[in-house]
Structure 1
Amino acid sequence: MTGRTGPAAFRSDGHGRAAALLAVLLAAILPALLLTATGAGARAHGAADPKPVVTLSQKQAGKGGEVTVSGRNWRPETLLMMLVCGQSAPARGVIGGTNSCANADGRAVTTDKKGAFSKKLPVAEPPVPCPCVVHVATVTGEQALAEAVFVVAGHPVAALPKESGSGKLAVLAATRLEGDSGLLTWFGAPASRRLVFTVGNLGSAPVKDPVFRVGTAHGVYAAQWEERQWRGTVEPGRKARIELPVELTAGAHGDYQISLKYGTKVLAEQPWGVGRPWGVTLFWILLCLVVPAAVFRIGMAIVDKVRPRSAHAAGRRSFPRTGATVRFPKLRRAPVPAAGPAPPTSTTTAALPWFTPDSAPPEHRPTTKGHS
């Protein structure tokens, strides 16, 4: 058998060894790359949809005490509200909405850049019996909530209402906003309306005292949600007309979007255009005109009161005024003589009043001829 020798054999053996070495390297690195990519994908998927978590420093405390509430996996820099609520369970949520919570003793907290927080919450008795929970929910933006079981020592405990079937509400007619703005709204008072809609129960169980959420959005900002509870029962296969109050902040104007949500489903949306409160503008314009004029008048009165009086003015005012009046004689124009011949001129010289012949001295008296 003859073997290959020379450069051709060297090239063939070199390519074989390189291919074998590359195959070994790929076999060693490829599993590690696959594991790393799988782990990164799992972590990315978990980070994209985290579940908010709430933990408590203690599970039980009496009224007047404090419990430290900690959380993680929330949206970064988000405002949250913490409440102690009764008639609640993590599996069923807060039955009756925030009406079952101690709202006056709630606390607000803002998450950090990592979506975590820790703050003390005073323990208060909710208006309904326990089972109780510490309820934490977002105030603005997309709704997110979490609850932790908590026992309020000394507070009554009652069984939760039984669930019989399931009720499902749906809007049967278009929603509308009823009501009008009064004169005070023109001057900046909060605009208010009634959101009117008709719902039907498409489920197999009655829905009692449903809690709706009304959202108010302005421009590109996220909706601000508020809970509104309707008192009544909607039987299966029946419908009911519901009115919920909607109110804006003082001075609000522009285009708003009113949304209605039941549970996690948005039932309806209704636009609302609010006019500008021109009365406020008119008030400020009048204020800018009236106040300077009043200040000017007051300043002139003060100046007139404190300025020194001249002697002439003081002298004129020193004499009392009487009822006598001064009358000046009427000036009459001299009559003009009628035109005629000029009178003859006389050459007689009138005697001066201060000189007469008798009064002259003797030496200056004229001598009279013919007298001795």
Structure 2
Amino acid sequence: MSGRVRIPVLVAVLALLLLPLAGAATAADGPSVELSDSQAGTGGSVTVSGSGWRPHTLLMMLICGQATPSRGVIGGTNSCANGDGRAVTTDAKGGFGKKLPVAEPPVPCPCVVHVATVTGAKADADAVLQVAGHAVEPLPAEPSGGRLSILTDTRLEGAGGLLTWFGAPPSRTLVLTVGNVGSSTVKNPVFQVGTSHGVFAPQWEEQQWRGTLGPGKKARIRLPVELAAGAHGDYTVSLEYGGKVLAEQPWGVGRPWGVTLFWILVCLVVPAAVFRVGMAVVDRVRPRGAGGVRHAGPRFFLRLPRGRAPAQTPSTISTLPWFTPDSDPGTATTKGPT
């Protein structure tokens, strides 16, 4: 009897011991998404719940066409109903639950509910959804050629110079190591390099890497990235190949303070120059005074108080050098009548 009691006890203990391991295995599998209904029509809604995400992370939920959980969204966000998406923030345990209105994507199904992180490390998950009444077409054949994969973390090399400080276009070099995980050789692959500012969509530019990658080979790739003149703020550099985003790298661009300094100097120098020119014009058109001299404006004099002039004595009377004392007109005396 005691042996029969011990068996259920041992089973319960083993279950308690294996429960944390099962939870850890689920967390290691990455984020997951579940839907309240696998099929819904336009105008309805489904409840999207998830687990295994980073705590307090902002997510975006979209209904996308031409997608499966195994291949992802083939056309990127261009295949999704972006106008009817919803944002949600995970709780402290990395879970969430929110209703999502059902809308027809711009491309045919098969469709999924695509959930991806908005900020921070990139993570996403998909759940199959049948949009009732929406067209369904088979997915394009998956290319049987070589497939490239990122082997190491990407980074941006380079620094801004003096010209960038004065508004020149900031430029960096996107450096990464890719490997060919396909079954055929990849020759001169064409990458899509995109730059986005804040929450705006990236602007893509094609860049071709000259080289050949055989199956199982890897190569170091360097792709130039340049922004518009005067750009500043937080940017994100994305790399896409074969319709799939391979890497994203943040890029903080400083403000071109040289341009600000230039405009401050302009605001100081131009008014001073205009003032000098105006004063020269005023001085030229000013009316002339007597003798052809221009009036220099009002003048101020210091007038001293008048005092009595000292009396002159005969000894102090000066005589001109060409007169003798006898013949000096100033000392001549008038004789009376005789």
Instruction: Give the TM-score taking structure 1 as reference length.
Output: 0.48
Match of 2:87 in 1: 108
Tell me the distance in 2 between the aligned counterparts of 1:274 and 1:38: 51
Aligned to 1:325: none
Q: Residue 94 and residue 245 in structure 1: after superposition, are their counterparts in 2 closer, same or farther (change >3 A)?
A: farther
Structure 2 CA distance for aligned equivalents of residues 246 and 54 of structure 1: 40
The aligned length equals 262
Q: Can you list the C-alpha shifts for 1:82-107, whole angstroms capped at 9, x where unaligned?
A: 11212111221111322322334322
1:308-327 equivalence runs, <5 A: none
Tell me what 1:317 maps to: none
Does residue 72 of the first structure (1) align with residue 50 of the second (2)?
A: yes
> Residue 14 of structure 2 corresponds to which residue in structure 1?
35
SS in 2 for 1:118: strand
SS of match in other structure, 1:129? coil
1:84 aligns to what? 63
Letter of the structure 1 residue corresponding to residue 123 of structure 2? A
Aligned to 2:105: 125
By how many angstroms is 1:123 displaced? Answer: 1.2
Counterpart check, 1:96 vs 2:75: yes
Aligned partner (choices 29, 33, 37) of residue 53 of structure 1: 33
Quickly say closer, same or farther: Cα 1:229–1:71, change in 2 above 3 A: farther
Q: Aligned-residue CA RMSD in angstroms?
A: 5.7
Take 1:190 and 1:119, find their aligned partners in 2: how far apart are those partners? 44
Question: What is the Cα deviation at residue 143 of structure 1?
Answer: 3.2
Local SS of the residue matching 1:163:
coil
What is the rounded CA distance, in whole Å, between the counterparts of 2:58 and 2:164 in structure 1? 33
Partner of 1:337: 313
Unmatched 5+ stretches in structure 1: 1-22, 217-224, 291-329, 341-372
- The share of aligned pairs that are identical, in percent, is 41
- The verdict on how the C-alpha distance between 1:119 and 1:182 changes in structure 2, with shifts beyond 3 A counting, is farther
For 1:1-372, what aligned pairs fall within 5 Å after superposition? 31-32=10-11, 34-46=13-25, 48-49=27-28, 51-57=31-37, 59-62=39-42, 65-73=43-51, 74-114=53-93, 115-121=95-101, 123-126=103-106, 128-153=107-132, 155-165=134-144, 167-169=146-148, 193=172, 195=174, 201=180, 203-205=182-184, 237=214, 243=223, 245=225, 251-252=232-233, 274-275=253-254, 277-279=256-258, 333=309, 336-339=312-315
Deviations along 1:301-355, one digit per CA (max 9) or x if unpaired, are: xxxxxxxxxxxxxxxxxxxxxxxxxxxxx99956611259xxxxxxxxxxxxxxx
Q: Secondary structure, in 3 states, of the residue corresponding to 2:49?
A: strand
Structure 1 residue identity aligned to 2:34: V
Q: What stretches of structure 2 of length at least 5 have no aligned partner? A: 269-305, 317-338
Q: Summarize the Cα distance change of 1:247–1:66 in structure 2 as closer, same or farther, 3 Å threshold.
A: farther
Q: Residue type of the partner of 1:119?
A: K
Confirm or deny: 8 A CA contact 1:85 1:132 kept in the other structure. yes
Bigger Rg, which one? 1
SS at match of 1:204: coil
8 A contact 1:186–1:276 mirrored in 2: no
Partner residue, 2:276 = none
